[in-house]
A and B are shown apart, each in its own frame.
Chain A
């Protein structure tokens, strides 16, 4: 699959995440469409392919949110790298691995954002945010993951990796 095709998708997801998603949120919990899409691709495909998406998606969310600049970028590349590493360790992807990776990535992503907020002098209600925002948000992301995982598995099979001979 041409990696360039993903950028409009990520842009669309970022627009939805900043406009539509808050309308369907449950309390403070919101699904993270961009993060789920990118991390899921790292899980499904590996090979570092999702890293460039992570940079693009992170910067885009930084531009569209009022978080300290760079917060989304840092969080996005960190969780994507870990998911990519997970793909290497697991030698592939399974639905169970994807679920576990997205849940862990959601919590890690939120935690990094909170740390950046704290470091940049914003007061953060840590316990409340984890209970009311991060944990429900992680569960929300699991629900979003299901269709994304199915789509990306199809894309992965439809556009297989071109394997070069290793001399």
Chain B
């Protein structure tokens, strides 16, 4: 082994640890977010391309499977079938995207809000923070604090925004409790992560409280962080506990937060203090 490699490694370690400690300590005040903005701008096209390609993988696999069923046909017919299958897979993929976009339009129309449609281009690499990056930013009218919706309801909130991308914190993040209410009774609560699960905590609930599975929770508008009336989650399980002051219902987001392809940003509502 060549001499000097270990001191070199130790030097790198010391420099990097010192830098890391500085960043952890004062990174936010050193405008590290500006560096993130630049990085997001540089990498967003590549991330978007990879995301689009990965969305087509399912269709491509289906195409390969169907080609396997034509094993008895001759080479020319196989090629012909493969071409058709490829076109079909591409069309199916397009149809799927159309369906998702139509569903998003449905959400927008039903809620009667103005929105910006954005492709999801990045997710947190470690899944330790529940965040994602979308391909829309200030150029498209997105502002910090705006609500982000999936095909069925609220999925998160814009926490930082750049010219063409924005970071969104999902409602499954412990840092993002959502004031909500039961859509039918307007009974208020807070949707948050508790013991690793998404729950609705209801303080001072009536003793005859009943929450049925599938019951929808919508934003209450309390706190001014979200507009009132956005669907957020549905009840998965609830059992009234007489001894508890706070009743806890297990809930689930209306959308699959880990497999969002397109989202809507509600541009009508910007919380106070973020304008």
A55 proximal to B (CB < 8 A)? yes
B46 nearest in chain A by CB position? A15
Total A-B contacts with CB atoms under 8 angstroms apart: 183
B47–A73 CB distance below 8 A: no
A132 nearest in chain B by CB position? B196
The DSSP consensus for interface residues of chain A is helix
- A52-B12, A64-B39, A88-B6 in contact; A20/B50 too (CB < 8 A)? yes
Q: Hey, which chain B residues are within 8 Å of A49, CB to CB?
A: 5
B125–A32 CB distance below 8 A: yes
- A15-B46, A77-B12 in contact; A122/B27 too (CB < 8 A)? no
Interface size bracket, B side: 35 or more
B244 proximal to A (CB < 8 A)? no
Q: Pick out which of these stretches binds chain A: B15-23, B77-85, B212-220.
A: B15-23
Max chain A Cβ within 10 angstroms of own Cβ: one of B12, B30, B39, B50: B12
In the complex, how many angstroms separate the beta carbon of B107 from the nearest chain A beta carbon? 22
B125–A61 CB distance below 8 A: yes
- A58-B16, A128-B195 in contact; A70/B122 too (CB < 8 A)? no
A64–B43 CB distance below 8 A: yes
The A-contacting residues of B in range 24-61, CB under 8 angstroms, are 24-25, 27-28, 30, 32, 35-36, 39-40, 43, 46-48, 50-51, 53-55
Q: When chains A and B are docked, how far (Å) is the Cα of A78 from the Cα of B141?
A: 41
- A48-B5, A48-B6, A64-B122 in contact; A133/B24 too (CB < 8 A)? no
Q: When chains A and B are docked, how far (Å) is the Cα of A72 from the Cα of B169?
A: 19
A116 proximal to B (CB < 8 A)? yes
B23–A70 CB distance below 8 A: yes
Interface size bracket, A side: 35 or more
Q: When chains A and B are docked, how far (Å) is the Cα of A128 from the Cα of B8?
A: 38
Q: When chains A and B are docked, how far (Å) is the Cα of A65 from the Cα of B25?
A: 17
B2 proximal to A (CB < 8 A)? yes
The A-contacting residues of B in range 187-234, CB under 8 angstroms, are 193, 195-196
B128–A110 CB distance below 8 A: yes
Instruction: Scan A123-140; emit 1 where CB is below 8 A from any B CB, else 0.
Output: 111011100110001000
B30 nearest in chain A by CB position? A69
B174 proximal to A (CB < 8 A)? yes
A70–B27 CB distance below 8 A: yes
B105 proximal to A (CB < 8 A)? no
In the complex, how many angstroms separate the beta carbon of A106 from the nearest chain B beta carbon? 10
Q: Hey, which chain A residues are within 8 Å of B126, CB to CB?
A: 30, 32, 65, 67, 110, 113, 133, 137
B8 nearest in chain A by CB position? A48
B197 nearest in chain A by CB position? A128
The B-contacting residues of A in range 22-79, CB under 8 angstroms, are 22-25, 28-30, 32, 34, 46-49, 51-52, 54-55, 58, 60-71, 73-74, 77-78
Q: Looking at the complex, which one of B12, B123, B159 makes contact with A51 (CB distance below 8 Å)?
A: B12
A113 nearest in chain B by CB position? B128
Q: When chains A and B are docked, how far (Å) is the Cα of A21 from the Cα of B126?
A: 10
A50 nearest in chain B by CB position? B9
- A54-B16, A66-B131, A129-B128 in contact; A74/B122 too (CB < 8 A)? no
Q: When chains A and B are docked, how far (Å) is the Cα of A19 from the Cα of B9?
A: 31
Q: Looking at the complex, which one of B25, B30, B193 makes contact with A125 (CB distance below 8 Å)?
A: B193
In the complex, how many angstroms separate the beta carbon of A11 from the nearest chain B beta carbon? 8
Q: Hey, which chain B residues are within 8 Å of A128, CB to CB?
A: 195-196
- A15-B46, A129-B128 in contact; A58/B123 too (CB < 8 A)? no
B92 proximal to A (CB < 8 A)? no
A69–B32 CB distance below 8 A: yes
- A81-B13, A122-B175 in contact; A63/B39 too (CB < 8 A)? yes
Binding site for B on A (CB under 8 A): 14-25, 28-30, 32, 34, 46-49, 51-52, 54-55, 58, 60-71, 73-74, 77-78, 81, 84-85, 88, 110, 113-114, 116-117, 119-120, 122-125, 127-129, 132-133, 137, 161, 163-164, 166
Cross-chain pairs A/B with CB under 8 angstroms, 18 sampled: A15-B47, A21-B125, A23-B51, A29-B127, A48-B6, A55-B16, A65-B125, A65-B131, A68-B23, A77-B17, A77-B20, A81-B12, A88-B6, A110-B128, A113-B128, A123-B174, A125-B193, A127-B196
